[in-house]
């Protein structure tokens, strides 16, 4: 019974950690969508910056399996998390559409790597009879966290201190903030 309890603790910790990543992901993806409007990126470049996350995500789906097999789940998880943290930390330092395009692709690659590692790890740790329940808890937890992360965004302000109208931004948050809701 002790081994079963330890295994559940490991699985629970992994699900909570990945839900934390998704909370930050929901917040950060929404923030970047608003920030490209604040920074006045040209429309095509704003679209490319936002899309580059998914380009990195797609590349990771093709490349992460061998990395995980080579270094193991723990090291792969740490490496992908490090990529996400480093690229995220660099974004405020490197304000510009080209640097953000590359950094967003790195974040996408790292996030996909985290999710692939997590799901592979859960699949390896979960008993076959419990696998469906564990994956359903994982999916509900991560999607709830992703949605809650978006709710953490307040009104966006441009450099002049004026509130940016959300319906002009690539993503409309759906939370009311005064006079800008009428549009």
Read off the pLDDT of residues 37-86 as tens digits, 9 standing for 90 and up. Answer: 888 899 999 999 999 999 999 999 999 999 999 999 999 999 999 999 99
pLDDT of residue 125: 84
**Domain residue limits, the chain:** 2-152
Q: Which of 91, 87, 84, 90 is nearest to 41 (CA)?
A: 91
* Confidence bin at 3 (pLDDT 50/70/90): low
Superfamily covering domain 2-152: MFS general substrate transporter like domains (1.20.1250.20)
At 182 the pLDDT is 37
- CB within 8 Å of 60: residues ≥ 6 apart: 108, 109, 110, 111, 112, 113, 116
Higher-confidence position of 31 and 177 = 31
* pLDDT digit string, tens, across residues 93-141: 998 999 999 999 999 999 999 999 999 998 888 888 988 999 999 999 9
pTM: 0.78
pLDDT at 172 over 50: no
């Amino acid at each position: 019974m002790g081994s079963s309890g330890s295994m559940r603790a490991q699985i629970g910790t992994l699900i909570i950690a990945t839900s934390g990543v998704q909370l930050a992901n929901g917040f950060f993806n929404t923030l970047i969508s608003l920030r490209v409007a604040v920074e006045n990126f040209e429309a095509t470049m704003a679209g490319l910056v936002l899309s580059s996350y998914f380009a990195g995500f797609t590349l990771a789906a093709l490349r992460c399996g061998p990395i995980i097999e080579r270094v193991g789940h723990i090291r792969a998880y740490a490496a992908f998390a490090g990529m996400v943290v480093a690229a995220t930390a660099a974004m405020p330092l490197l304000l510009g559409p080209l640097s953000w395009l590359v950094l967003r692709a790195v974040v996408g690659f790292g996030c996909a790597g985290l999710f692939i590692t997590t799901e592979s790890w859960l699949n390896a740790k979960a008993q076959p009879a419990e696998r469906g329940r564990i994956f359903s808890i994982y999916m509900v937890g991560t999607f709830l966290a992703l949605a809650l992360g978006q709710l953490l965004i307040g009104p966006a302000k441009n450099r002049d201190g004026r509130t940016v109208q959300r319906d002009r931004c690539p993503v409309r948050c759906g939370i009311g903030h005064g006079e800008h809701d009428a549009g």
